[in-house]
Amino acid sequence: MGAQRIPRPASQQASYRLVDDRTDERLVADHLAGDGTAFRILVERYHDELMRFLIRFMGNRAAAEDVFQDAFLQVHNSAEVFDTNRRFKPWLFTIAANKGRDLHRKNARRPTLDLSASVGGDGEGQTYVDLMEVDVPAPSAALDEAEQDQHVQEVVDSLPEHYREILLLAYFQKLSYQQTADLLEIPLGTVKSRLHSAVAMFAKRWKAQSESDSGDA
């Protein structure tokens, strides 16, 4: 069976959201302890933010949705090795960025996991679809706003890949220099110099595009 996508809620359900004041790290621990709602809450909590990042990182929604699915499946499969004394968000975005980089390199879809398969692999019990089924607005106002920002997207897309990824990770997503260095497997000094160059190139191209738009008006 082909991969399935996170079900979209019916319009009358769009206003319903899972609300929980537990930290991300507590949710991971509770998920491992058998809490059936913890993983869904994490997916919902990061849905809009991660999708905004991935749409810019991948350049289109379809690829972003594929990477989003793949990233959270990795989170589920690797939850036992996550150190709950560390922050969850950098770990999630590191996984997502790595999945995105893999897809960029291969320029082809990775073999997909059957999301209807049992989590335990025994053919019974919860499936991956059960774990990832969440109620989120479709689309959310925040996501609409990000998608409408075509000028930023066009400039980001025009950057060389090594500038685009470091700009998205360290500048837009605000990962630390060290987290970015670990993710990209480059020295800390390279992160700083590359980010400086990426910001400068973005600013130059943004200015050129703005002036071009003004001249066409």
Q: Which pLDDT tens digit goes with each residue over 79-99? A: 999 988 888 988 898 899 888
Same domain, 35 and 123: yes
| 47-61, 97-111, 132-146, range with the lowest pLDDT | 132-146
- Angular region, 125: left φ>0, alpha ψ -120 to 50, beta rest: left
Is residue 149 very low, low, confident or very high in pLDDT (cuts 50, 70, 90)? low
Q: In whole angstroms, what separates CA 161 from the centre of its chain?
A: 17
Q: Give the list of residues 6+ apart from residue 61 with CB closer than 8 angstroms, or none.
A: 55, 147
**Strand partners of residue 127:** 118
pLDDT at residue 155, rounded to an integer? 81
Same domain, 171 and 138: no
Same domain, 89 and 1: yes
Same domain, 154 and 102: no
Radius of gyration of the chain (CA): 19
Task: Report the predicted TM-score, pTM, of the whole model to 2 decimal places.
Answer: 0.61
Domain count, the chain: 2
Q: What angle do CA 184, 164, 41 make, to 5 degrees?
A: 70
Does residue 140 carry a pLDDT above 70?
no
